[in-house]
Structure 1
Amino acid sequence: MTTATVPAPTPSARGALRRAKRRSTALGLLAWAAGLAFCLPALWMLLTSLHAESDAATNPPSLFAPLTLDGYRAFFGADTGVTPWPPLLNSLGASFFSTVLVLLLALPAAYALSIRRVRKWTDVMFFFLSTKMLPVVAGLLPVYLFAKNAGMLDNIWLLVLLYTSMNLPIAVWMMQSFLADIPVSVIEAAQVDGARLPTVLARVVAPMAAPGIAATALICFIFSWNELLFARVLTGVVAQTAPVFLTGFVTSQGLFLAQLCAASVVVSLPVLAAGYAAQDKLVQGLSLGAVK
């Protein structure tokens, strides 16, 4: 048996290989630099939250100042007795319930627009998109007057309804693209076996579109958690949310930078925890349908 000899690469091939390696290394370093640039503000916020107010307010900032937890103690009311738990729970409740409502409404709507398409479904999709073209501040006065006349000011359920209406168009658009990749034959087989529409949605469509649903739910949760304008205008004390609570650290006495950074870190933790828990399904959902 004779063994085939592999010809040695030519000088031009070796040069091309070296250039490809250098290009790959440069792109890798550029990606690391871009990632660090995106993470640097968050890391700086975390470092500032561990400094005393006097060190956090210096210009330029004192990078190697002594570390302390005074900012976190002040945020949790160790000195003033003002606890952040009611605003945090309000944000959690409004974000959770609005996300659940969005998913319950968006799943059948996306099913009708992708699998069992209604007539002129493209016009329906454009209508959903057009609802996001109006600036939020333009609808603030009518919403405020409605809430005032209905006696719903400073009510957490008003925020649930508003967040649901704000996130529903985005959810329908996202889930429509996810559900469009589900084979129709699988749904038809379930219907032949006697499954009705609620059963098809719950036991066939939802499990197959789980990554897309998780991605949609996480994005809607983040949008609801971070919303400030409506919460600032329509709530007071009872339904105050975490972003509104953060604005209390900017007072006429000055900007308490260390306390504000500590509060921002704590308020960011639920979103980070949710993203970390759903990161595998989030990546699958956001990349679903990218390769046909």
Structure 2
Amino acid sequence: MSATASRVRPSRPTGEAGAAKRPGRTRGAGLGLLAWVLGVLFFLPIAWMALTSFHSEADAATNPPSFAAALTLDGYRDFFGVGGGASPWPALINSAVASIASTLLVLVLSFPAAYALSINRVRKWTDVLFFFLSTKMLPAVAGLLPIYLFAKNVGMLDNIWLLVILYTSMNLPIAVWMMQSFLAEVPVAVIEAARVDGARLPTVLARVVAPIALPGIAATALICFIFSWNELLFARVLTGVAAETAPVFLTGFITSQGLFLAKVCAASLVISLPVLAAGFAAQDKLVQGLSLGAVK
């Protein structure tokens, strides 16, 4: 048999097979278009808020709104107190302290707890997980009065460290659940090899488990930071002037004189920037962490 005759050419798809593939491609293109449309719809309110923040109060209050109105920075000047108003920096600093400190505490507490529930499992670990989940079943407003009375009796009203403790307790159950699913994907063989080499538990956690689960840790930290930064109910009731946070400061723009729309939009955009910056900086780790364990 000649070399030419022995060659086997791959068969081309018939017309029916090609036609069968076209509906799949069309369906994929349709889903992609739908995703773009939904993304634009979700982005429109943010774009509208950003545009309104650069308008004057008179142009921002027009109905229907004017897209061609003159742009100005008056809303941002009023927010930063350039014209003599209250400065937002104390509130922003309080939010940063409460969010960052509580997130670090949550990570320190949830990481070993998740290790005990996923890798070195304790007895009845499913009951423990259910207990953590059950703590989120009580509405936050139901515990507001007891917490207020406790803070008043111990002299911690209008104290930023009270918010740190509250945010830590509020985010800890979510962090334990997220961490548990992330650490369950860590190869046990790697941990056993480290133990054979004489590594103790702190070394195993810090040098073996943590680097492998870094995307999950970053995703958990970002979620806890967002929840802490955006929390309003407890901050509004338990703080006054010294421990006022950014969301509480934002509510101060709604006065008896009316709603200053341009100023509120400018303030909302500025207050949202730290969360957006954190999400953008950790977006690769966030995607890896949220998808970790999705494919078995």
TM range (shorter): over 0.9
Determine if the alignment matches structure 1 residue 83 to structure 2 residue 92: no
Matched letter for residue 261 of structure 1: C
> Shift of the alpha carbon at 1:80?
2.5
Determine if the alignment matches structure 1 residue 24 to structure 2 residue 28: yes
Counterpart of 1:37 in structure 2 is: 41
Q: 1:115 aligns with which of 110, 116, 119?
A: 119
Q: 1:159 aligns with which of 163, 168, 171?
A: 163
Q: In structure 1, the residue corresponding to 2:252 is in which secondary structure?
A: helix
> Shift of the alpha carbon at 1:4?
4.4
| CA distance in 1: counterparts of 2:98 and 2:32, whole angstroms | 41
Counterparts of residues 142-221 of structure 1 (less than 5 Å): 142-221=146-225
Matched letter for residue 83 of structure 2: D
Matched letter for residue 91 of structure 1: S
| CA distance in 2: counterparts of 1:9 and 1:118, whole angstroms | 56
| CA distance in 2: counterparts of 1:164 and 1:98, whole angstroms | 5
| CA distance in 1: counterparts of 2:268 and 2:51, whole angstroms | 12
Q: Deviations over 1:16-68 (max 9, x none)?
A: 33333322222211110011111111111111111111111111111221111
Q: 2:255 aligns with which of 208, 233, 251?
A: 251
Counterpart of 1:131 in structure 2 is: 135
Flag structure 2 segments of 5+ consecutive residues without an equivalent.
Answer: none
Q: In structure 2, the residue corresponding to 1:222 is in which secondary structure?
A: helix
Q: In structure 2, the residue corresponding to 1:80 is in which secondary structure?
A: coil
| CA distance in 2: counterparts of 1:137 and 1:266, whole angstroms | 28
> Structure 2 length normalisation: TM-score?
0.96
| CA distance in 1: counterparts of 2:192 and 2:23, whole angstroms | 53
Q: 1:94 aligns with which of 98, 105, 129?
A: 98
> Shift of the alpha carbon at 1:203?
1.0
| CA distance in 2: counterparts of 1:130 and 1:197, whole angstroms | 29
Matched letter for residue 119 of structure 2: I
| CA distance in 2: counterparts of 1:36 and 1:217, whole angstroms | 27
More deviation, 228-237/13-22: 13-22
> Shift of the alpha carbon at 1:182?
0.9
Counterpart of 2:290 in structure 1 is: 286
Regions of 4+ moved over 3 Å = 3-11
Determine if the alignment matches structure 1 residue 262 to structure 2 residue 266: yes
| CA distance in 1: counterparts of 2:9 and 2:152, whole angstroms | 85
Matched letter for residue 77 of structure 1: G
Q: Deviations over 1:124-163 (max 9, x none)?
A: 0000000000000000000000000000000000000000
> Shift of the alpha carbon at 1:5?
4.8
Q: 2:57 aligns with which of 53, 56, 68?
A: 53
More deviation, 60-69/247-256: 60-69
More deviation, 262-271/3-12: 3-12
More deviation, 77-86/115-124: 77-86
Matched letter for residue 224 of structure 1: S
| Aligned residue pairs, count | 292
Q: Deviations over 1:167-187 (max 9, x none)?
A: 000000000000011112211
Matched letter for residue 256 of structure 2: S
| CA distance in 2: counterparts of 1:219 and 1:286, whole angstroms | 11
| CA distance in 2: counterparts of 1:17 and 1:192, whole angstroms | 53
Matched letter for residue 135 of structure 2: T
Matched letter for residue 198 of structure 1: P
> Shift of the alpha carbon at 1:6?
5.2
> Structure 1 length normalisation: TM-score?
0.97
Q: In structure 2, the residue corresponding to 1:83 is in which secondary structure?
A: coil
Q: Deviations over 1:266-292 (max 9, x none)?
A: 000001111111111111000000111
> Shift of the alpha carbon at 1:7?
4.8
> Shift of the alpha carbon at 1:193?
1.8
Flag structure 1 segments of 5+ consecutive residues without an equivalent.
Answer: none
| CA distance in 1: counterparts of 2:68 and 2:29, whole angstroms | 32
Counterpart of 1:224 in structure 2 is: 228
Call closer, same or farther: CA 1:135–1:9 in 2, change over 3 Å: same
